[in-house]
Amino acid sequence: MKKTDKRRSPPNNSEAIATLLLLDLFECPTASDTKEVVRAMEGVIKKLKLNIIKKAEYHFAPYGFTLVYLLKESHFSVHTWPEHNCLCVDLFNCTPLTKKQTQIVLEVFLEYLKPGRHHIERIERGEK
């Protein structure tokens, strides 16, 4: 399952005011590597010129973690299941992301975390 962009538009053909990206990474041996996940997330933040307000993380026993960045533009989170070699990424941006920006997010995560499979969905939120 390698979907690169599934788009759900706002109702009545109106313009969206925000974008939610959902990225699932499967067969991902780096799912337990906090440093690599941070590098990927901060790579996206840098390339999209997003602004970090606060970072929070929580590590579960015996494994797995959640990492959240509160952004000036909204939020960015990763939830991991290392026992399943799986990560789920959510990026909510208070302005619509372009297809190019969506591709950047995907490329950064694929480069840093090297999953065997992935699924990405872009959902346009709100309306003008």
Active site amino acids: 74, 79, 94
Check: CB of residue 9 under 8 Å from CB of residue 123. Answer: no
Percent helix, strand, coil in the chain, to 5, is 25, 40, 30
| Helix 34-47 / helix 99-113 crossing angle, nearest 10 deg | 160
Planar angle of CA 10, 12, 16, nearest 5 degrees = 30
